[in-house]
Every structure is written in C-alpha cells, then in structure tokens.
Amino acid sequence: MLPLINDLPELEDAKLSDGLAQLADRLANQLPGLPSTSPVLISGDWGAGKTTLLRALQRKIDPGGERTLFFEAWRYEKEALLLPALLRAIWELIPQEEREKWEKASLGARIWKTAVTVSLGAGASLAKLAGGPAGVLVDALFALHKEEVEEKKKPPAGPPPDQTLQLQKDFGELLASRWTLQQPLIVFIDDLDRCGPEGSVGLLEALRMLLHQCTSSAGAPSIDLPCRFVVALDRKVLIHAVALKFAGVNRYDGNRYLEKIFPFFFELPQPGGAAVHRLVSTILGTDGRTAATERGEAASLTNELDALATALGDPSFANPRLIKRCINRFRLILEFEREAARDSGPAKLRSASNQADRLVILARWIAASERWPNLRWLLASRGDEFWSHLGGALQARNGDDSLDADMRALLEEDGVEAWMRKELLSGKGQRIAEYREADQRLRVWGL
C-alpha cells in the first residue's frame, strides 16, 4: 500500500519549512515582551501554514500548556457572538479550584453576561444569537431580559453603568489572578477568516475594545495587561469582510482598519528553490524511500523527487498544503501506472519506469491543475486554435478584449497568466500537447 500524506498542520518542528521554523523561533522570543495593546497578525493564503506556525509557537512558548490558549474561531461561529465564546475559553483555562473562588464572587457570570451585552450593543444580531445552540447563550439572554425588567422597576439613580468599562475591569482582574507581565497568557486565534464577515469583524472589534482599555483621561500611561493575542488569517479575506461590514461608508479602506488593530504584521514566508527541495524530501520522509528501496526503485525516487522539486519551486505553487496534495496525486498516478505495467510483463515495466523526461511535465501539470482548477477544464474543452489565439492575444496585451468570459475569469487568478506564458504557451503548441498528455495520464485513473 502506498503511504499517502495527510492534509493536517505539521506538529513536529523537524517537518517545518526553513522559513516557518525561523519565524517561529524569532516570534517565540518576542511575543511575551510585546505590549498587550499590540496584537500580532499572521497572514497567509489557504494552506500556507498559519495553523502550523501557531502550533509551533505554542510548543516553543508553553510546553506545559499553562500559559497559552488555542482558540479555533470557526468552531464557535454558530454561537454568533465570538467574544463570549473567547472569554469562556479563557475562563476554562483557569484551574477549577481557582474558578470556584471567582464563581463565589460572581466574576465569571458577570464577565459572561457583560460580554453578551457589549457584543449586542456593538451590532451583533440578537436573532442570530437566539437561534444558536441551547444552553449558556439562551440562558444569558433570559438573564439579561430578567435584569432589564427588574431594573425598570427601580427608580432611576443616575446614568446606567458603562458596560464596556465594567468588562474591561473584570477582564483585567481575571487575568491578573492567574498570569503576570513576566509570564503573560498568550491567546492564539486561528481560522478567523473561515467565519462569516459579521463574526470575524465583530471579534476584532472586541479585541480592540478589551486591549485599548487603560489610557486615563488625564493621559496617564496605559496599563499593560498580562495577555497577548496572535491572530492568524488571510488578510485579503478579512479586508473583504471589513468592506462588507462598512459597505455604506464611502471609500472605506480595510487595510487602514487592520493597521489600527494590529501594530505588528507578519506574512508567512514562502518556500522556494532549494527550500522546496528540502521540504518535498521531508514530506516524503522515510516511508517513501523505504517503499521505493524495497521495490528496487531508489533511482526512480530520486528522479521523482527532482521532478516535484522543480515543478513546485515555482512561486505560484509554494504553498505547503498545495505541495502535499500535489505529492499525493503525483505518487498515486505513478504507482497506478507501475502496477498496470507489472501486470503487463517485464518489458512494459521497464518502459513505464523510464519516463524521466515526462516527470517534470506531469508534476507541473498536477500543480497547475490543483492551483487553478478551471485551467484544467479549459485545456480539455478548447482546441489548438483557441490556445494559439490566446498566446497571440497575451503577446499583444489585448486578451481582455478578444477572449471569452471563461478565460478572462481565469486570467484574474493570481499567477496563472505568468505561468501560462512561461510553460503552457511556449514552444508553439508543443507544450500544449505535452500537458494534454499529462492530463490524460491523470484522467485514465480518475485523478
């Protein structure tokens, strides 16, 4: 059986790409010393390694699991209000005996109900909240309604309390009971860009409210909380979410919005060149080498590794999750072909194993069709005349005017035009034939 690679984040430092490993080391040293009012943004495309980096940071900063919280935002989106869910997760990180002390003082219940009130006041949907899961959310709604009814029975004794200030005070008190400035709580928020626009932007607003709490009216220095936040998301996705939330505001700039919340911003490094070769070799691991050696195909594995590293070294494909998917498809197709060749006899097997000149084309086409699925559909559905016309249109820089809607949509995807110019449309049609052959090799086996 061919060992395939899982599509999960890497949980071993030895399997990190060079860039991720170096960034994790540096951030692990810096994070505890940052001011609490300076949350960190980690941005990267789908599959670029955001979760892998956060988990590496957690291992380096907190091997014992007492000073960090990993909050997967998308798991709580059905609760509609992410702030109460986040505060509940922090609350549950405190040992039970300490929680009992705070429960007697009603701090936990107060933080929860105040967080719900503040979130609703910030524009969250009450209807959506009421439709969430039964239990604490619904109980909180009834509790808030009951308190409101009781308050209306009392004679007014001044303006209502500032719920935001109360939440800030209680949050600071809770943190100070467990963590210190020298050893602060570090909260990793992951997958926020998988949440809906309302929830993701709402949580960012809540973070800004919690952390920018402590500058006095007299201009005294802000109080540094024993807490640091690291948020991982695809910046482009969140900018789109911000644009949807503030659609009624003329020329609202989502980039400026994020800069106000995140003074520190890091883009995930992309592997390239020799780093891709090392990453592919690491991902293949000993399983692939052992299996190949047992079959007497060690030389073939070297050719396959070189082909994958060459193809995936293109910046358009320098994405760890994409690399894993490509390796799996590449190994599957070659394994299926070898099995079929073995069934056909030694001569056919020698012929099938001697395909070094086609391996790079196959690897490149697998990567391209994974990166731009519509490109594969167009290659299969359009004839040579279309591709010849496309090459001429791109050379003349008038492709948008002379091409149909499907191709114009494809050309809007990042990196596809540059790759087609360099690979698919070079060689006066010869490359088109080579890539069609590679695609047919995949389709024969349902890949």
User: Could you read off the pLDDT of 335-346 as tens digits, one per residue?
Assistant: 898 888 887 765
312 close to 349: Cβ distance less than 8 angstroms: no
Q: What pLDDT is attached to residue 136?
A: 45
Separation in Å, CA 203 to CA 73, 93, 206? 9, 19, 5
Return the number of other C-beta atoms located less than 10 Å from residue 41's C-beta: 21
391 close to 424: Cβ distance less than 8 angstroms: no
Return the sign of the alpha-carbon dihedral for residues 158, 159, 161, 162: negative
- pTM, 2 dp: 0.79
Q: What proportion of the chain, given as a percentage, has pLDDT over 90?
A: 19
* Banded pLDDT at 80 (limits 50, 70, 90): low
Q: What is d(CA 225, CA 179) in angstroms, rounded to the nearest whole number? A: 9
Task: Tell me the mean pLDDT in the region 222-231.
Answer: 84
Provide the 3-class DSSP secondary structure of residue 133: coil
Q: What pLDDT is attached to residue 287?
A: 45
Q: Give me the residue label for tokens 């790079």.
A: 360
Q: What pLDDT is attached to residue 147?
A: 54
Separation in Å, CA 375 to CA 67, 124, 267, 289, 406? 47, 40, 27, 33, 10
Name the residue among 219, 263, 239 with its Cα closest to residue 41. Answer: 263
Among 97-106, 141-150, 172-181, 266-275, whose mean pLDDT is lowest?
A: 141-150
For 373, the token pair is: 């699925």
**Number of helices and strands (H, E) in the chain?**
22, 5
Q: What pLDDT is attached to residue 366?
A: 96
276 close to 318: Cβ distance less than 8 angstroms: yes
Q: What pLDDT is attached to residue 45?
A: 86
Return the number of other C-beta atoms located less than 10 Å from residue 438's C-beta: 23
Q: What angle do CA 117, 164, 130 make, to 5 degrees?
A: 15
Return the sign of the alpha-carbon dihedral for residues 358, 359, 364, 365: positive
Q: What is d(CA 209, CA 171) in angstroms, rounded to the nearest whole number? A: 11
Q: What pLDDT is attached to residue 375?
A: 93
DSSP state of 54: H
Is 230's pLDDT higher than 80? yes
Name the residue among 255, 261, 264, 169 with its Cα closest to residue 207. Answer: 261
Q: What is d(CA 323, CA 303) in angstroms, rounded to the nearest whole number? A: 17
Q: What pLDDT is attached to residue 345?
A: 63
Please indicate whether residue 293 or residue 258 has the higher confidence score (pLDDT): 258
Separation in Å, CA 322 to CA 48, 120, 200? 8, 39, 25
Highest averaged pLDDT of the listed ranges 185-189, 286-290, 406-410, 429-433: 185-189
Is 8's pLDDT higher than 90? no
Please indicate whether residue 119 or residue 306 has the higher confidence score (pLDDT): 306
Please indicate whether residue 37 or residue 121 has the higher confidence score (pLDDT): 37
Tell me the sheet residues that pair with 70: 188
Please indicate whether residue 246 or residue 216 has the higher confidence score (pLDDT): 246
* Banded pLDDT at 301 (limits 50, 70, 90): low
CA dihedral 57→62→63→68, nearest 10 degrees, is: -90
Is 273's pLDDT higher than 80? no
Q: What is d(CA 251, CA 271) in angstroms, rounded to the nearest whole number? A: 35
Q: What pLDDT is attached to residue 143?
A: 53
Mean pLDDT of the residues in the chain: 78
Question: What are the residue ranges of helices labelled H in 272-314?
Answer: 274-294, 298-312
Q: Give me the residue label for tokens 């990190």.
A: 16
Is 11's pLDDT higher than 80? yes
Sequential DSSP letters for 320-354? HHHHHHHHHHHHHHHHHHHHHHHHH-HHHHHHHH-
Is 431's pLDDT higher than 50? yes
Is 240's pLDDT higher than 50? yes
Name the residue among 82, 28, 92, 86 with its Cα closest to residue 58. Answer: 28
Please indicate whether residue 310 or residue 122 has the higher confidence score (pLDDT): 310
Q: What pLDDT is attached to residue 187?
A: 94
Task: Tell me the mean pLDDT in the region 5-28.
Answer: 86
Tell me the sheet residues that pair with 60: none
Q: What is d(CA 437, CA 447) in angstroms, rounded to the nearest whole number? A: 13
Provide the 3-class DSSP secondary structure of residue 150: helix
Highest averaged pLDDT of the listed ranges 10-19, 113-122, 222-231, 436-445: 436-445
